[in-house]
Structure 1
Amino acid sequence: MSVLRISDGVSLRYRPRALLMGTVCALLALALGVLAIGSGDYPMGPGQVLQTLAGNGAPADDFIVNEVRLPRVVTALLVGGALALAGAVFQSLVRNPLGSPDVLGFTQGAATGALAAVVLFGGGSLALAGGAVAGGVVTGAAIYALAWQRGLNGYRLILVGIGVASILTGVNGYLLTRAKIEDAARAVLWLTGSLDGRDWDDATPLLVTMAVLVPLVVLGCGRALRMLEMGDDAAAALGVPVEAVRLSLLGAAVVLAAVAASAAGPVAFVALTAPQLARRLTRAPGPNLVPSLCMGAALLVGADWIAQRIFAGHQLPVGVVTGVLGGGYLVWLLATERRAGRI
């Protein structure tokens, strides 16, 4: 742990390796974003992309970069960062590496809200996004209420979340059987997780949400979250209002996951995998919120680049790539833990 003195009486403590790895992940995410912007049927070099982003590109380059490709890349960066930050908060609060929106049922709730908006009310893209946010928030409130019993236990929250996720998976399947064929096809693509056709209307709500919630989580509640990892009694003895902080963090994480799902669908495994990779890179205890956010952004923009390029002439939904990569990582992690005798 190092200390940076800002002024008299004001100092900042940080871990050099965590700061270094977070910076590396952020730079990697930006580099992958530039690579993704420059790839496609109209190829552009990194220098040409950066020049265009600075406002010095040709009119054709400006249109391709700022109107066609940049919104998709920005959406990928924001969705990956939001999911990873939500996953880091959940895993820290429940003190379990399986604590993520994928496992706890929040993404299934967002999917239920989106499907209900499309199937039951015939809504378009805006209604789908609003339904996803509403479904995720309502599901989060229901899981919290069901898991509450003179306090919130991490394992009880996971078990309730898994049960709710199973119920909502069945509901989602039923809603798909009731949908018109064109609505069902659009819903299935969204459920897989896709960034196709994303524009600034998709990126702007997520950008505003993260501008509000990231400082709240990282700066406002980050220190309290580290204390909560020591246990409720220890945190309370150190002056942390345990239930108020936990409820605030859970609410922020649920909103982040729901808004991310509204922008790109319930993209699999980013929220589960990114915090684990960030922890392994930083080798630091605690939630590793900023490194996790940067790792999630890098993972999703990289996965989207792979999804667009792996098969010539055909684009995969990004959720397919994250599912394959994340599932492989989970199998490797379980095998490693078993060899180490921890499971």
Structure 2
Amino acid sequence: MSRIGERFLPHGYARLTLPAGRAILLHRRSAIVAVVLVIVTFGVAALTISTGAYELSPAGALRVFFGEGSTLDRFIVIDQRLPRATAALLVGASLGASGAIFQSVSRNPLGSPDIIGFTTGAATGGLVVILLVGTSTAATIMVGTILGGFATAAVVLAIAFRRGLTGDRLVLAGIAVAAMLAASNDYLISRASIEDAEAAKAWQYGSLNAISWPPLVPLAIVLVVVLPAALLVTRQLRVLELGDDAAAGVGLNLTRARTFTLAIGVCLAAIAVATAGPIGFLALAAPQLARSLARSPGVTVLASTVMGSLILVVADLVAQRLLSPFQIPVGLVTSALGGAYLVWMLTFAPSPQRRRPRLRIPRPKIGS
């Protein structure tokens, strides 16, 4: 946030006035894209709630919210379909915002929490709680995933800081740590009993099949606190995308800015893993898809947040209907979609050099 004069507004931005004479810049197309994505997301969520193996008309599903309908109708809608759709919205928003933060800090489209190891570290914390501690309550798994995510972040940052923290070093350090953690996760599962290994493996895929209201309460509380902070650091993220020299030149404390923004991203990724397990590729694809639609100069946290919700709601609908009445983990669907997205990005997406506009300097006229 800063004091912004009307005459200095960049093209495509609007000035949003805040109390105490402060203001923020708002990218107009990003805001419009976010509104459209919100409408589409809630439309898909409504379709998920009103359809399924248990036949219930949309009007019948709507009557449930007014206290009408049978006991079975209320159980199906209120206790099963609604918490699952709500979880898809909140978890997708958390991963979308987290991916936008990591890609901005690393200045790399591959710098998402699932690629650079933070999601894997959070999953390691959850598996330690499930397999070694011997408890699988929502509260203990949440504590384990958050501690695992922050511990992994500390290790990755310590490695990357050895010769100066850059985006490439952050990604490479994260990939190396993620590979070691993935091996540790497989070893933990191989040494567990059959029952514990099956439960842990099902959780490790990332699933919303057995979601209920209690695990959503801490997720909602964290998002209410952390998500506004993620939106407020957008200005710092834009400055970090300019490069270290330019960011330091405008007075930004690079170490403090990176540490604070990464802490927000790790918290968002960890709480998402604690709720639904590690869901792959969503944090990777959501920011880039949102940026393509918004045509913004950098990754937009707001549009990425809504795009993450939309992707997970659509993926969960596919997971429910693809092999109905059998349901597959939503993490498998997002992984398949993420693989297709990577193929598209490598094959058809224009390179950053091709998208960068050329600066044409007019030639001076001789004799003028």
Q: TM-score, normalised by structure 1?
A: 0.93
Pick the aligned partner of 2:211 from 181, 188, 198: 198
> Does structure 2 retain, via aligned residues, the 8 Å contact 1:193–1:267?
yes
Q: Equivalents in 1 of 2:50, 2:121: separation in Å?
A: 36
Q: Equivalents in 1 of 2:332, 2:16: separation in Å?
A: 46
1:285 matched to which residue of 2? Answer: 297
1:131-179 Cα shifts (integer Å, max 9, x gaps): 2222111111111111113642111111110110111111111101111
Percent sequence identity is: 43
Q: Equivalents in 1 of 2:142, 2:16: separation in Å?
A: 44
1:60-83 Cα shifts (integer Å, max 9, x gaps): 343332222111111111111111
Between stretches 109-118 and 142-151, larger displacement belongs to 142-151
Between stretches 315-324 and 33-42, larger displacement belongs to 33-42
Is 2:90 the counterpart of 1:78?
yes
> Does structure 2 retain, via aligned residues, the 8 Å contact 1:110–1:136?
yes
1:283-339 Cα shifts (integer Å, max 9, x gaps): 111221011000000110110111010113211110111111111111111112589
Pick the aligned partner of 2:75 from 47, 58, 63: 63
Is 2:324 the counterpart of 1:298?
no
Local SS of the residue matching 2:218: helix
1:3 matched to which residue of 2? Answer: 14
Pick the aligned partner of 1:189 from 202, 210, 215: 202
Label 1:123 to 1:11 Cα distance change in 2 as closer, same or farther (>3 A): closer
> Does structure 1 retain, via aligned residues, the 8 Å contact 2:129–2:141?
yes
Structure 1 residue 12 displacement after superposition: 5.0
Q: What is the one-letter code of the residue matched to 1:156?
A: R
Label 1:280 to 1:141 Cα distance change in 2 as closer, same or farther (>3 A): same
Q: Equivalents in 2 of 1:5, 1:124: separation in Å?
A: 45
1:33-76 Cα shifts (integer Å, max 9, x gaps): 111111223333444444544x3543534333222211111111
Q: Equivalents in 2 of 1:265, 1:7: separation in Å?
A: 38
Q: How does 1:82-231 map to 2 (within 5 A)?
A: 82-126=94-138, 127-149=140-162, 151-219=164-232, 221-231=233-243
> Does structure 1 retain, via aligned residues, the 8 Å contact 2:13–2:25?
yes
2:9 matched to which residue of 1? Answer: none
Structure 1: 5+ residue runs without aligned partners? none
Matched pairs, number: 340
1:235 matched to which residue of 2? Answer: 247
Higher gyration radius (CA): 2
Label 1:15 to 1:339 Cα distance change in 2 as closer, same or farther (>3 A): closer
Label 1:6 to 1:195 Cα distance change in 2 as closer, same or farther (>3 A): same
1:92-135 Cα shifts (integer Å, max 9, x gaps): 11110000111101111112111111221211233333222221
Label 1:228 to 1:178 Cα distance change in 2 as closer, same or farther (>3 A): same
Q: Equivalents in 2 of 1:91, 1:124: separation in Å?
A: 32
Q: What is the one-letter code of the residue matched to 1:133?
A: I
Label 1:336 to 1:180 Cα distance change in 2 as closer, same or farther (>3 A): same
Q: Equivalents in 1 of 2:177, 2:302: separation in Å?
A: 29
Is 2:301 the counterpart of 1:314?
no
Label 1:110 to 1:3 Cα distance change in 2 as closer, same or farther (>3 A): closer
> Does structure 1 retain, via aligned residues, the 8 Å contact 2:60–2:69?
no
Local SS of the residue matching 1:3: strand
Q: What is the one-letter code of the residue matched to 1:97?
A: P
Q: TM-score, normalised by structure 2?
A: 0.87
Q: What is the one-letter code of the residue matched to 1:58?
A: G
1:227-284 Cα shifts (integer Å, max 9, x gaps): 1111122223323222211101101101111110011110011000111110111111
> Does structure 2 retain, via aligned residues, the 8 Å contact 1:3–1:11?
no
Structure 2: 5+ residue runs without aligned partners? 1-11, 355-368
Q: How does 1:4-83 map to 2 (within 5 A)?
A: 4=15, 6=17, 12-53=24-65, 55-58=66-69, 60=71, 61-83=73-95
Local SS of the residue matching 2:251: coil
2:277 matched to which residue of 1? Answer: 265
Between stretches 135-144 and 40-49, larger displacement belongs to 40-49
Give me the CA root mean square deviation: 2.1
Q: What is the one-letter code of the residue matched to 2:171?
A: I
> Does structure 1 retain, via aligned residues, the 8 Å contact 2:18–2:24?
no
2:347 matched to which residue of 1? Answer: 335
